[in-house]
Chain A
Amino acid sequence: MTPQEEVENLIARVAMGDRAAFNRLYDRTSAKLFGVCLRVLNDRVEAEEVLQDVFVTVWNKADSYKVNGYSPMTWLITITRNRAVDRRRAMKLPPVPIETADLMPDSKPGPEASAVAASEARQIKACLDELPRARAHLVRRAYLEGDSYADLAQATGVNLNTIRTWLRRSLMALRECLSR
């Protein structure tokens, strides 16, 4: 059984109310999902509250997993990231500043290049590398740390409409690259 099938299997059994399967799913995924919460919230107490909420949802909603078309880890990560981002916005955490120097458009591949996994499934990282480094950084801030347009505008000192235009263009370019 691949790790993906294993997690899928566990979710299916959790949907049937299997407590042992829930505990195994927790052991198997909680460290990764906690990492996601921490990345967004940067606070262990808040991150644990969100993670608790996530696993309560998983226990109660595991039966809805099959119908939404996600792979198992994506389902878990998406629930977790979205809850953490909701919490971050509710707390109105100030964004971590971004050096304006980092935003100067340049055509060099970004730091992502070195981090590209040797694996096949990391097409999106290859595509991020095709973006100007500063733009790739904004995209990563939006999905890894949950920055909103307003956060990014505040973090960079760049006006919100400009940020939005930059990010939307980057997403369009990413999408084009991903469909190649």
Chain B
Amino acid sequence: MSDQTLPPDGPEEDEDRVLAAEYALGLLTDEERARFEERLDTDAALRAEVVAWDEHFAAVILDDVAEVPPSPQLAKRLQTILFKPEKQSFWQQIWPYGLGGLAAALVLWLSISTGILVPEDSRLKPDLVAELAPTPDGEGLVIRATVDTTLAAVEVVRAAGTPPDGRVFELWLIAGDAAPVSLGLLEDGSSTLIDLPQDLLAVLPGALLAISDEPPGGSPTGAPTGAVRAAGPLTSS
């Protein structure tokens, strides 16, 4: 078929067909495309024309384009992006520990009162204690916090586990429905002593302590940004 057999300007229907093809190929200018898409919203025949072109072009692509396997890392990246449960909210992550903490406190109280577990020698005379149970993201962590309300201080002892490379652990207090309050960062050593603000002392019993991992220097937002690694409620010792 030579060019001469086609009229330079076809009837309106032909014009739409060519426009649909140009749209499918991404050949329209931004302005032309916007106008065309406006018409697509209301014109089913035009939509069908675009689908028909896409089907034809895809048929050639299916036939002519060679398969090339992407690198195996891409599949792994997608698993992380799509399926890693880090999209859970802070609250979703910690709520089981609020409940489980009561049982843990009971076990702890039994251990201490029966002499199985003697509290480590501490600078504090603790009246509140929290066993921070590891979350699935915190496997291997053994963290215990003791509070001396008279001195207004909390000592966090990390018996096992370290933050991921390039991250630090941050300690949070969650009292009732209030937003988490940062109490400070855990030091590299096994024990960290942190002063508590006076105004928090009253809400401590029953409040939840939680550890999240954060960038060096701590959460940039004032709220936990990394995964919660361990959590547990403060109970009377």
Q: In the bound complex, what is the Cα–Cα distance between A128 and B25 (angstroms)?
A: 16
Verify A59–B60 contact, CB threshold 8 A: no
Q: In the bound complex, what is the Cα–Cα distance between A52 and B71 (angstroms)?
A: 11
Q: In the bound complex, what is the Cα–Cα distance between A47 and B64 (angstroms)?
A: 18
Q: In the bound complex, what is the Cα–Cα distance between A82 and B24 (angstroms)?
A: 9
B222, CB-defined interface residue at 8 Å: no
Verify A175–B17 contact, CB threshold 8 A: yes
Verify A175–B21 contact, CB threshold 8 A: yes
Closest to A86 in B: B26
Verify B27–A142 contact, CB threshold 8 A: yes
CB contact between A48 and one of B26, B57, B66, B74 (< 8 Å): that residue: B74
Bitwise, A88-116 to B at CB < 8 A (1) or not (0) is: 00000000000000000001000000010
Q: Main SS of the interface on chain B?
A: helix
Residues of A with C-beta under 8 A to B51? 68-70
Bitwise, B60-79 to A at CB < 8 A (1) or not (0) is: 11111111111100110110
Verify A171–B81 contact, CB threshold 8 A: no
Q: In the bound complex, what is the Cα–Cα distance between A131 and B3 (angstroms)?
A: 10
B197, CB-defined interface residue at 8 Å: no
Q: Interface size bucket, B side?
A: 35 or more
B178, CB-defined interface residue at 8 Å: no
CB contact between A77 and one of B18, B27, B58, B70 (< 8 Å): that residue: B58
A144, CB-defined interface residue at 8 Å: yes
A51, CB-defined interface residue at 8 Å: yes
Verify B17–A77 contact, CB threshold 8 A: no
Residues of B with C-beta under 8 A to A144? 60-61, 64-65
Closest to A173 in B: B1
23 A-B contacts, Cβ less than 8 Å apart? A30-B75, A32-B65, A34-B67, A35-B65, A36-B61, A52-B81, A59-B82, A69-B48, A74-B58, A77-B61, A77-B62, A78-B54, A81-B57, A117-B63, A124-B56, A124-B60, A146-B26, A149-B27, A168-B22, A169-B6, A171-B21, A173-B1, A175-B14
CB contact between A168 and one of B18, B26, B59 (< 8 Å): that residue: B18
Binding site for B on A (CB under 8 A): 19, 22-23, 26, 30-32, 34-36, 38-39, 44, 47-48, 51-52, 55-56, 59, 68-71, 73-74, 77-78, 81-82, 85-86, 107, 115, 117, 119, 121-125, 128, 130-132, 140, 142-144, 146, 148-149, 167-169, 171-178
Q: In the bound complex, what is the Cα–Cα distance between A141 and B17 (angstroms)?
A: 20
CB contact between A172 and one of B17, B25, B62 (< 8 Å): that residue: B17
Residues of A with C-beta under 8 A to B37? none
CB contact between A52 and one of B52, B61, B77 (< 8 Å): that residue: B77
B86, CB-defined interface residue at 8 Å: no
B10, CB-defined interface residue at 8 Å: yes
B55, CB-defined interface residue at 8 Å: yes
Residues of A with C-beta under 8 A to B27? 142, 148-149, 167
Closest to B69 in A: A31
Closest to A143 in B: B57
Within the complex, what minimum Cβ distance (angstroms) separates B92 from chain A? Answer: 17
Verify A71–B55 contact, CB threshold 8 A: yes
* A55-B59 contact, Cβ under 8 Å, with A70-B54, A172-B14: no
Closest to B81 in A: A56
Q: In the bound complex, what is the Cα–Cα distance between A39 and B61 (angstroms)?
A: 10
Residues of A with C-beta under 8 A to B52? 178
Closest to A125 in B: B60
Within the complex, what minimum Cβ distance (angstroms) separates B132 from chain A? Answer: 31
Q: In the bound complex, what is the Cα–Cα distance between A69 and B46 (angstroms)?
A: 13
Residues of A with C-beta under 8 A to B68? 31, 34-35, 38
